[in-house]
Structure 1
Amino acid sequence: MTIINGSSLALILVLSTLVTCKCNAAGVPLADQTIFNVMDFDAKPNSELMSTQAFMKAWRAACDFTGHARVFVPPGVYTLGETVFAGPCKGTHSIILEIAGTLKAVPDVSEYSNFAWISFESINGVIITGGGTLDAQGQSVWQFNDCKTNPNCVHLPATLHFNNIRNGKIMRLKLINSMGFHLHITSSYLVRFHGLTIDAPEDSPNTDGIHISKSNTIKLSRSVIRTGDDCVSFGQGTNNVTVNKVTCGPGHGISVGSLGKLAGELEVRGLIVKNCTLRGTTNGIRIKTYAGENANRALGMMFSDIVMENVKNPIIIDQSYGDKSTDSLSQVKISDVVYQNIRGTTSSEIPVQLLCSSKLPCENVRLTNINLKHIENTPITSQCQNVNVGYTGVQIPSPCQGPSS
């Protein structure tokens, strides 16, 4: 005979409730929420007619509702121009946007006056999910991107732009062929990205997967990102960010920066990138700063348990970004950086490059258990410049010889 005490019985009852509960993404029973179906606001599925106003009206109704609200996008294909989901909202609960269909952007850059195709502004509590697809049709406008030749270029609209968001979750979505960045988050706090698939061709210009700036406590996990630019990029003011179990490639890898381009930039601090795989990317883990006069700091960064598969520059600090001078005078101070348990293959004969500023050398850079091999078994080496670096454990390629600063 099995005897169940009071605490065990309580646990069983809780688990039973969780298993049988028909709940939304926030754990709220479906019976306790109000659904705002975009079809009820005159959305036009499977039509070239735009549904922009219908989507924004459905959002507005949900945002003004004080109970549990869910905006629902049924299966089907919906054409949207520039769309803004704005707060603040009246309720005290997270609004859910459930996208079960496919959203397609109007492929005309003149339709967009803002930073993005779809924007979320000034919202405390939002969950975006549903397994749907956001197709920005960027292949129709990439020809207008001139950022390779124009340093003051205007970036094409991001697929999703988050500004001033608190307590957000974005999960189980597919973003394809963004015009500019696929996802840009700025001035936000406590936002999680989970289970995303981001896809664009290798030659698509400036189609970063996720760009984070001026934000604190952001988490990205269990996602696959294939783009023509950075998989994940950390801009100024990025603090306390964790990237975990992300697969990247093709693209330019995971980048801190570029920093030092603008005056008065905010520092980057507290980055953790772990358990990631990079496949066929131009760079692996890159820190890049301009060689100009604008000051900034990037410190407290850990890159751990990273697998490189045919990556050109697995570990690189480039403080001459935008200026290939052999002696960088960058005013961005880099310190307290740890690379540990990084292994795999490279197409470069110099897979470890720590090229820091002669004006402000890098300090307290640590490499632990680095094991990289050339895809054609060519001998490989390290290159260091103006850096205080320490080594422990396995080091392949061999550490830099002699003083590094």
Structure 2
Amino acid sequence: MKHSHILPLASCIFFLTLVILVQARHHSHHAKHKHSHPHKSSKTPKPAPPPSPPHNQNYNNASGIFDLRKFGAIGDGETDDTESFKMAWDSACQSESAVNVILVPQGFSFLVQSTIFTGPCQGVLELKVDGTLMPPDGPESWPKNNSRHQWLVFYRINGMSLEGSGLIDGRGEKWWDLPCKPHKGPHGTTLPGPCDSPIAIRFFMSSNLTVQGLRIKNSPQFHFRFDGCKNVHIESIYITAPKLSPNTDGIHIENTNDVKIYNSVISNGDDCVSIGSGCNDVDIKNITCGPGHGISIGSLGNHNSRACVSNIMVRDSFIKVTDNGVRIKTWQGGSGSVSGVTFSNIHMVSVRNPIIIDQFYCLTKECTNKSSAVSVSNIIYTNIKGTYDIRSPPMRFACSDSVPCTNLTLSDIELLPSQGDIVHDPFCWNAYGDLETLTIPPVSCLLESTPQLVLDYDITRC
């Protein structure tokens, strides 16, 4: 009896122990399975890296960058992108960033109508032309309500640079056949005609300007014009237009002071650089000029006006195959003065009039000698060498009967004919000056001292 009670009890204990062992084994297996990947379940997955930005994306999104294409410009050379350009300008002009860049991106051509971009602006502006800017193609494509005298005008801007690796294409070919100034008519006649064609780039009443590194070609008229400006720096630009393209001056300045034009190449159909009335403190250095009409001061005194030009330096330059080298030109009947001008270290190749003062400048045969003129005085020519076209004398000083040229100084002049061995004598008319060294060819026509007529002439009006 006693053993019969123990046996069932032992069986129950064995069965319970077996159940507990099985559950413990199952729990242990479940726990190992649950923590087999602890890091993946406990941390938030890292986001995928962003795609690499396209070319120039960082530049376009930087503070103070105003890309024309961000304002809706297409840049296919046919769509009118004027309004996009205006919006980009207005946004940059109103921006409070210290420097604001209006970007004409590389690889696109933007068609822009005649437009005036007006200041003053909040900060300094940079118009960075890495692509191409162009106007409508010729007079027939030019809107009738737009000015035909200018294309892009920058007005009342203080602090602006125009630069870039791109191109400004003036598309002037269809304009050049239009009458411009008095021009040749049938049977040798002379016909009047306005220059009704646009200047490519004009700065008006602006200051602290820089133009650098640009290429500009084929303007309908002047490529650059600066009116009423001060502190202008032009550096390393390249201007081209055909030799016979009319009135396509490279750079013209008028009533503009403190100008530096350096290290540039200008090849066109008129003056490489022309200096008008009201200019002073102008430094022109390392210019390659030609073909064209050379580097000119004037024309001054037209329509009996007063003209004042002073403190001009043209140096270290190369002039080739031009109608003139370094020229001063004034109209009869004007008043005022040109003074304090130095031309130095200039090499000439096949230039028709290497050194010329012309106080009888006239575009028709109807001009008459008058009793008043713009005074020309204190002009220095030094170290000017090279060759000249034998159609004209190498030096020509044609001065007014009423107001002679005075204080002309020549030194280290050596000009030889580009063809043959005939050496023309220099020409002088009412010109007073000195030779500091012997010149080739010899200059024996300059008059000495200063005439009383000039001493009595009031040049202080400038």
TM-score by length of 1: 0.88
Given that 1:214 and 1:266 are in contact with CA atoms closer than 8 Å, whether structure 2 keeps it comes out as: no
**Corresponding position of 1:296:** 336
2:446, 2:283 → 1: CA distance? 34
Q: Give matches, 1:165-176, under 5 Å.
A: 165-176=206-217
Given that 1:289 and 1:330 are in contact with CA atoms closer than 8 Å, whether structure 2 keeps it comes out as: no
Gaps of 5+ in 2: 1-58, 184-190, 452-462
**Which digits, 9 at most, give the CA deviation of each residue in 1:132-155, with x for residues without a partner?**
111111001111233133667244
Q: Does residue 110 of structure 2 align to residue 78 of structure 1?
A: yes
Q: Does residue 354 of structure 2 align to residue 318 of structure 1?
A: no
Gaps of 5+ in 1: 1-28
Letter in 2 for 1:307: H
Which of 227, 232, 248 does residue 186 from structure 1 map onto? 227
**Corresponding position of 1:126:** 160
Distance 1:402 1:279, change over 3 A: closer
Deviation at 1:326, TM superposition (A): 9.7
**Which digits, 9 at most, give the CA deviation of each residue in 1:298-354, with x for residues without a partner?**
111000101000000000011111166896755110001001100000013511011
Q: Give matches, 1:99-110, under 5 Å.
A: 99-109=129-139, 110=142
Identity %: 35
**Corresponding position of 2:119:** 87
Three-state SS of the structure 1 residue aligned to 2:86 is helix
2:372, 2:135 → 1: CA distance? 40
Q: How many residues align?
A: 374
Distance 1:35 1:379, change over 3 A: same
Given that 1:107 and 1:141 are in contact with CA atoms closer than 8 Å, whether structure 2 keeps it comes out as: no
Three-state SS of the structure 2 residue aligned to 1:49 is strand
Letter in 1 for 2:169: D
Letter in 2 for 1:127: S
Which of 418, 430, 441 does residue 397 from structure 1 map onto? 441
Three-state SS of the structure 2 residue aligned to 1:56 is helix
Q: Give matches, 1:239-250, under 5 Å.
A: 239-250=280-291
Given that 1:165 and 1:191 are in contact with CA atoms closer than 8 Å, whether structure 2 keeps it comes out as: no
Which of 342, 346, 349 does residue 309 from structure 1 map onto? 349
**Which digits, 9 at most, give the CA deviation of each residue in 1:195-234, with x for residues without a partner?**
1100000010000000110010011000000011111100
1:402, 1:199 → 2: CA distance? 38
**Corresponding position of 1:352:** 395
Distance 1:402 1:371, change over 3 A: closer
Aligned CA-pair RMSD: 2.1
Q: Give matches, 1:181-220, under 5 Å.
A: 181-220=222-261
Bigger helix share: 2
Three-state SS of the structure 2 residue aligned to 1:131 is coil
1:158, 1:146 → 2: CA distance? 13
Deviation at 1:294, TM superposition (A): 2.3
Letter in 2 for 1:107: D
2:89, 2:369 → 1: CA distance? 53
Q: Give matches, 1:4-403, under 5 Å.
A: 33-67=63-97, 68-75=99-106, 76-91=108-123, 94-109=124-139, 110-111=142-143, 112-113=146-147, 115-149=149-183, 153-291=194-332, 293-322=333-362, 329=371, 331-348=373-390, 349-376=392-419, 377-401=421-445, 403=447
2:356, 2:434 → 1: CA distance? 16
Three-state SS of the structure 2 residue aligned to 1:360 is coil
Three-state SS of the structure 1 residue aligned to 2:206 is strand
Letter in 2 for 1:50: D
Letter in 1 for 2:232: V
**Which digits, 9 at most, give the CA deviation of each residue in 1:264-322, with x for residues without a partner?**
4340111100011101000001111112x221211110001010000000000111111
Three-state SS of the structure 2 residue aligned to 1:63 is helix
Letter in 2 for 1:133: L
Which one has a bigger Cα radius of gyration? 2
Deviation at 1:402, TM superposition (A): 6.9
Distance 1:55 1:241, change over 3 A: same
Given that 2:404 and 2:432 are in contact with CA atoms closer than 8 Å, whether structure 1 keeps it comes out as: yes
Given that 1:353 and 1:383 are in contact with CA atoms closer than 8 Å, whether structure 2 keeps it comes out as: yes
Given that 2:148 and 2:196 are in contact with CA atoms closer than 8 Å, whether structure 1 keeps it comes out as: no
Deviation at 1:260, TM superposition (A): 1.0
2:348, 2:398 → 1: CA distance? 20
1:117, 1:358 → 2: CA distance? 41
2:335, 2:256 → 1: CA distance? 19
1:99, 1:364 → 2: CA distance? 45
Distance 1:402 1:175, change over 3 A: closer
- After TM superposition, the structure 1 stretch with the greater mean CA deviation from structure 2, 257-266 or 338-347, is 257-266
Three-state SS of the structure 2 residue aligned to 1:39 is helix
- After TM superposition, the structure 1 stretch with the greater mean CA deviation from structure 2, 282-291 or 261-270, is 261-270
Bigger strand share: 1
Deviation at 1:69, TM superposition (A): 1.1
Deviation at 1:241, TM superposition (A): 0.5
Given that 1:260 and 1:290 are in contact with CA atoms closer than 8 Å, whether structure 2 keeps it comes out as: yes
Distance 1:245 1:345, change over 3 A: same
1:216, 1:144 → 2: CA distance? 33
